[in-house]
Structure 1
Amino acid sequence: MSQIVTLQAFLDHWAGSDPEKAAIASTVRTIAGTGVGIADLVARGPLEEGLARIHGSDPNGGGDTQKELDVIAEEAICAALREAPVAYLASEESEDLIALNPKGQLVVAVDPLDGSSNIDTNVSVGTIYSILPFTEADRDNPNAAVMKPGTNQLAAGFLAYGPATILVSSLGNGTQVFVYDRESSEFIMARDQVEIPVETREYGVNQSNMRHWDEAMSGWIKDCLAGKEGPRGKDFNMRWVGSMVADAFRIFTRGGVYVYSSDKRKGYENGRLRLIYEAFPIAMLTEQAGGGATDGKTRILDITPHHIHQRIPLVFGSKGEVEKIASYY
């Protein structure tokens, strides 16, 4: 890039003198700044004893194992957002919404540490967030603020803690990528308008679960595996990290499609990813970059949640392949 653009400058320019946008910008800055501290902790790896230690199980009735770093990340984000214009925090790690700033006009939904099962394997993990409006009508029932379709999001993004600390962000005007520069202690814009290629020959899926899939998903993968000689008429490559922020960033970088379907295993019948904390923000980022996101049958952003910890199947990435997968249903 010929001109260096910091996250601060980008947000200030976008917000201008609009107080509502300024509140969103302040919240994005707060989350990004907190992410730097989480990234530093992740970078210590095995030197920071106990990060992968099981802290507890089933904190929100979903059957997930909670790691020590899940809790640390949530506490850091919660503490930082108390100083932001955020009324409540909805976290994947907590059963109920957490009250923050009584004067806040926003709600943040967050997966504090996506990919925490990979903490002790030196694989990229991250933080996923969604920013929503909090109105006077929501004050008597704060849950109502997050129980709305994904189209209600004001902003979304994720931080990936890997070789570089990356922020992928959307304010509803495209999707941008920022990289944390440790020399200047600033997030610097690396890409101002991400465009996910419409077509792809690459997919990410945990193929070991194929025997549990339904007929539609099994049919799609079989046709991909058939390669040039099959009905798709082309060869595909599979890339799967198992940490969604890492798999997502690959798609935002070079295209592809991510698939996490429902299946016949107990606890997976309705999918495994969280609608509010994972699917909604990833879907917004993807659509703002020209891609698509579906549960196989319905556009993700059109779904209205029925529970704050609702799970869902998720397919996102290159629009042509997302639509092809949906056609199998």
Structure 2
Amino acid sequence: MKAVKTLGQFIIEKQADFPYAKGELSRLLRDLGIAAKIVNREVNKAGLADILGEAGSVNIQGEEQKKLDIYANEQFISALKYGGECCMVASEENEDYIHIDSEISREAKYIVAIDPLDGSSNIDVNVGVGTIFSIYRRISASGKANDSDVLQRGTEQVAAGYIIYGSSTMLVYTTGKGVNGFTLDPSIGEFCLSHPNMCIPDDGVIYSINEGYYTHFPDGVKKYIKYCQVEDAKTNRPYTSRYIGSMVADLHRNMIKGGIFIYPLTASAPKGKLRLVYECNPMAFIIEQAGGKASNGYDRILELEVTELHQRSAIFIGSKNMVIKAEEMMACFSPQLTRKNFEGETCLQ
């Protein structure tokens, strides 16, 4: 019989990997795991409870909030408040930061940015949704945490992860030393290590993009889509188009099978659609730790300057060689670049 290792046991074992940690980060990850179990319970009985459909409110992104959006947001914030290891939460669902001003949390060392329920438009049709979280070490000396604590580049993350609520519920996270996945065993109520040392293949045959917006895409993206559709035995093309509409679900599939997820600039979203702090940075950290690559089409996501809490970005993320090829296509059609690294056949393939 293979020994079962729970998330809690694994975190404690790995605690020695953090030279500055004294257990706070381990407890913070535990708190996020507890909230994930509560949200999972509600997601799995959504059809039997009065938590489906619109909540009748709009979040700061201008999006209609689902009832489960609000529920998940409340559960994660509550878990972080009472855990005592987090001094400030930034949530996609809230306009401003949430300061945790209790005596135990005021001087806590960590900031959490979270998208409580990614892909919530899929809730009503029983399609996979998820949670994305990112953890930073506060840089302000004392008192209330401030802008500088959360508006850090993605390279400064100390941990990031996602939870996918699907046919099974998985928590996948990294602390900068590889990626590990844990599947929730409902019989014992614990996340158990099921996918140690996760690695995304360097190449894949899946591309994930909402092709309904094709006419509004930049020329480089259109060129890459056409490249994916051309038959070529040497590169296993044509590739397969798979798009769920939940970044967590699409990227989790590509993490395991190999592939690329693209959400580019469009005419209606000239700065990009996905949020840099809550979605792009944490997912980029995870994918890079798994051996993949993430960029905005030109520059590494984790090195982008963060100037606003709800800042948006384009993203090209997934298998390393697929992202590199997409970047080459973008460079061919970019007036901002010299093309010196991309001259010749690449632009014409």
Asked if TM exceeds 0.5, the reply is yes
2:64 maps to amino acid: T
- In structure 2, the CA distance between the partners of 1:18 and 1:162, relative to structure 1 (3 Å rule), is same
Q: Which moved more, 1:30-39 or 1:15-24?
A: 15-24
- TM-score for the superposition, normalised by structure 2: 0.89
Measure how far apart 1:52 and its partner are: 2.1
Gaps in structure 1 of 5+ consecutive residues: none
Task: Kindly report which structure 2 residues correspond to 1:109-124, keeping only aligned pairs within 5 A, or say none.
Answer: 109-124=113-128
Contact 1:315–1:322 (Cα < 8 Å) also in 2: yes
CA distance in 2 between partners of 1:190 and 1:18 (Å):
27
1:10 maps to amino acid: F
**Percent identity at matched positions?**
34
Map of 1:305 onto structure 2: 306
Map of 1:91 onto structure 2: 91
Matched, 1:7 2:11: no
Number of residue-to-residue matches in the alignment: 324
Task: Kindly report which structure 2 residues correspond to 1:249-288, keeping only aligned pairs within 5 A, or say none.
Answer: 249-265=252-268, 268-288=269-289
CA distance in 2 between partners of 1:52 and 1:107 (Å):
31
Map of 2:338 onto structure 1: none
Contact 1:228–1:235 (Cα < 8 Å) also in 2: yes
Map of 2:183 onto structure 1: 179
Task: Kindly report which structure 2 residues correspond to 1:144-223, keeping only aligned pairs within 5 A, or say none.
Answer: 144-223=148-227
Map of 1:52 onto structure 2: 53
Matched, 1:234 2:237: yes
CA root-mean-square deviation:
1.8
Q: Which moved more, 1:182-191 or 1:42-51?
A: 42-51
CA distance in 2 between partners of 1:9 and 1:65 (Å):
39
State the SS of the aligned residue for 1:83.
helix
1:91 maps to amino acid: S
CA distance in 1 between partners of 2:315 and 2:125 (Å):
25
* Larger-Rg structure: 2
CA distance in 2 between partners of 1:189 and 1:284 (Å):
20
- In structure 2, the CA distance between the partners of 1:139 and 1:308, relative to structure 1 (3 Å rule), is farther
Map of 2:342 onto structure 1: none
- In structure 2, the CA distance between the partners of 1:138 and 1:282, relative to structure 1 (3 Å rule), is farther
- In structure 2, the CA distance between the partners of 1:207 and 1:279, relative to structure 1 (3 Å rule), is same
CA distance in 1 between partners of 2:203 and 2:282 (Å):
22
Matched, 1:64 2:63: yes
State the SS of the aligned residue for 1:176.
strand
Map of 1:134 onto structure 2: 138
Contact 2:178–2:197 (Cα < 8 Å) also in 1: yes
1:169 maps to amino acid: Y
CA distance in 2 between partners of 1:97 and 1:296 (Å):
29
2:317 maps to amino acid: F
Contact 2:54–2:64 (Cα < 8 Å) also in 1: no
Measure how far apart 1:306 and its partner are: 1.2
Measure how far apart 1:278 and its partner are: 0.3
CA distance in 2 between partners of 1:238 and 1:252 (Å):
15
Contact 1:138–1:145 (Cα < 8 Å) also in 2: no
State the SS of the aligned residue for 1:32.
helix
Cα-to-partner distance string for 1:151-172 (whole Å, 9 max, x where unaligned): 0000000011111110011011
Map of 1:81 onto structure 2: 80
Map of 2:296 onto structure 1: 295
Gaps in structure 2 of 5+ consecutive residues: 331-349
Measure how far apart 1:282 and its partner are: 0.3
CA distance in 2 between partners of 1:327 and 1:199 (Å):
16
1:142 maps to amino acid: N
State the SS of the aligned residue for 2:248.
helix
CA distance in 1 between partners of 2:156 and 2:32 (Å):
20
1:23 maps to amino acid: E
Contact 1:224–1:232 (Cα < 8 Å) also in 2: no
Q: Which moved more, 1:105-114 or 1:36-45?
A: 36-45
- In structure 2, the CA distance between the partners of 1:117 and 1:233, relative to structure 1 (3 Å rule), is closer
CA distance in 2 between partners of 1:313 and 1:54 (Å):
28
- In structure 2, the CA distance between the partners of 1:296 and 1:171, relative to structure 1 (3 Å rule), is same
Measure how far apart 1:18 and its partner are: 5.8
- In structure 2, the CA distance between the partners of 1:55 and 1:69, relative to structure 1 (3 Å rule), is farther
- In structure 2, the CA distance between the partners of 1:306 and 1:224, relative to structure 1 (3 Å rule), is same
CA distance in 2 between partners of 1:302 and 1:19 (Å):
23
Measure how far apart 1:139 and its partner are: 4.3
Contact 1:14–1:21 (Cα < 8 Å) also in 2: no
CA distance in 2 between partners of 1:138 and 1:126 (Å):
33
1:90 maps to amino acid: A
Cα-to-partner distance string for 1:7-52 (whole Å, 9 max, x where unaligned): 1111001114966252111111111111111011011122112432
